[in-house]
């Protein structure tokens, strides 16, 4: 009897832990968030969706532009990896397997799946125009992945959908894999990692972190302002990261406020590579 009681207590404790989630810290901003889904669950679900998207997509036949996307992406990835490693946060991206693709589409869009799978649509390039601005977009997308915004949105959906019944649901399902089951259920209900509608706060945070990531990789963060002005005046089909939140004016104002911080990283790279004295 005692043994059963002890077993039930341990079981309840582990379920409570799973249901309450784990607290994780976002690099750069230091914001703490509680995630109900693990990296492994997110990766397995998003990799499946990524495979399906790539099967339906046609890769760009423009070799110069394709090479540019891969070059800028790799340079950003290296800078981000180095930064996280130097700050004891290498674990944040230990499951990442970077991929950089340019696909045929007139949409001015780009996304980064959890785990560092980045897709850029050809229709974005007339707006980026140069590698600095492309780095701003890729930095933003990489920031969503590094800050685990997908896991945050999925956790939010699980809480909204299952709320207080979460413990009951977990108890009724297989021991230990309950929250994972909920993640799969949410994913099956049309949760799209590629077209995820992030919160306004997530978008602002990705802008901020992305600006710093671009600067760390040696791309001029000041290009962000001109890029967003071009996007703002464009009449393209704008989705995902180009969604209406935050407004372009607010976005540009926030980027201007964050610019001195980004410029510190940019100047550090410039002087380290001897490019400051021209
Ligand atoms: Zn975004």
In angstroms, what is the span from residue 175 Cα to ligand 1's centroid? Answer: 36
Give 114 Cα–ligand 1 centroid separation in angstroms: 13
Q: Cβ distance 36 to 160 under 8 Å?
A: no
String of b and e for 248-260 (b: at least 16 CB within 10 Å)? eeebbebbeebbe
pLDDT in tens, 148-180: 999 999 898 888 877 755 555 554 554 455 556
Lowest mean pLDDT among 96-105, 156-165, 185-194, 254-263: 156-165
Find out whether 60 and 102 touch, Cβ atoms under 8 Å.
Answer: yes
Active-site residue, from 41, 141, 203, 258 = 141
For residue 235, count other CB atoms closer than 10 A to its CB. Answer: 6
For residue 237, is pLDDT > 90? no
Tell whether the torsion through CA atoms of 202, 204, 208 and 210 is positive or negative.
Answer: positive
Give the per-residue pLDDT at 5: 59
Q: How many whole angstroms from 188 Cα to the centroid of ligand 1?
A: 22
DSSP code of residue 137? H
Confidence (pLDDT) at 134 = 98
**Segment 111-147, tens digit of pLDDT:** 999 999 999 999 999 999 999 999 999 999 999 999 9
Chain segment 21-35, per-residue pLDDT in tens: 889 999 999 999 999
The pLDDT assigned to 243 comes to 57
Q: Report the distance separating Cα 75 and Cα 54, nearest Å.
A: 23
Interatomic CA distance for residues 108 and 239, integer angstroms: 8
Answer for the pair 242, 207: CB distance below 8 angstroms, yes or no. Answer: no
Indicate the pTM of the whole model: 0.85
Report residue 157 CA to chain centroid gap.
17
What percent of the chain stands above pLDDT 90? 59
CA 242 to ligand 1 center in whole angstroms: 7
- Residue 255 to residues 206, 222, 268: CA-CA distances in angstroms? 11, 9, 19
Is 141 one of the annotated active-site residues of the chain?
yes
Cα 193 from Cα 49, distance rounded (Å)? 7
Sign of CA dihedral 50, 76, 142, 255: negative
Tell whether the model's pLDDT for residue 213 goes beyond 70. yes
- Closest to 263 measured CA to CA, from 229, 214, 228: 214
Separation between Cα atoms, residue 210 and residue 132, nearest integer Å: 12
Query: Beta partners for 113?
Result: 117
Query: 25 by DSSP, 3-state: which?
Result: strand
Ligand 1 (single-atom ion) residues, CB below 5 Å: 203, 206, 241
Tell me how far the alpha carbon of residue 137 lies from the centroid of ligand 1, in angstroms: 9
The rounded distance, in Å, linking the Cα atoms of 178 and 11 is 12
Angle at 237 between CA 218 and CA 257, to 5 degrees: 40
């Amino acid at each position: 009897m005692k043994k059963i009681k002890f077993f039930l207590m341990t079981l309840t404790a582990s379920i409570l832990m799973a249901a309450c989630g784990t607290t994780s810290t976002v690099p750069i901003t230091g914001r703490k968030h509680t995630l109900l889904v693990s990296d492994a669950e997110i990766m397995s679900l998003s990799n499946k969706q990524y495979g399906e998207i790539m099967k339906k997509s046609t890769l760009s036949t423009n070799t110069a532009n394709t090479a540019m996307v891969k070059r800028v992406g790799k340079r950003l990835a290296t800078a981000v990896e180095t930064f996280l490693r130097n700050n004891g946060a290498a674990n944040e991206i230990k499951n990442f397997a970077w991929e950089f693709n340019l696909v045929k589409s007139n949409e001015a869009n780009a996304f980064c799946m959890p785990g560092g799978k980045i897709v850029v649509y050809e229709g974005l390039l007339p707006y980026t125009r140069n590698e600095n601005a492309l780095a701003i977009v890729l930095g933003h997308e990489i920031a969503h992945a590094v800050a685990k915004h997908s896991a945050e949105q999925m956790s939010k959906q699980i809480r909204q959908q299952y709320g207080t019944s979460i413990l009951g649901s977990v108890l009724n399902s297989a021991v230990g894999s309950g929250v994972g089951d909920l993640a799969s259920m949410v994913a099956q209900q049309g949760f799209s990692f590629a077209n995820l509608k992030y919160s306004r706060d997530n978008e602002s945070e990705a802008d901020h972190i992305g600006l710093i990531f671009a600067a760390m990789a040696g791309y001029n963060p000041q290009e962000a302002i001109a890029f967003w002005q071009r996007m703002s005046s464009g009449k393209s089909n704008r989705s995902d990261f180009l969604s209406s939140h935050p407004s372009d004016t607010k976005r540009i104002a926030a980027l201007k406020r964050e610019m001195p911080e980004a410029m510190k990283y940019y100047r550090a790279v410039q002087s380290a590579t001897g490019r400051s004295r021209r």
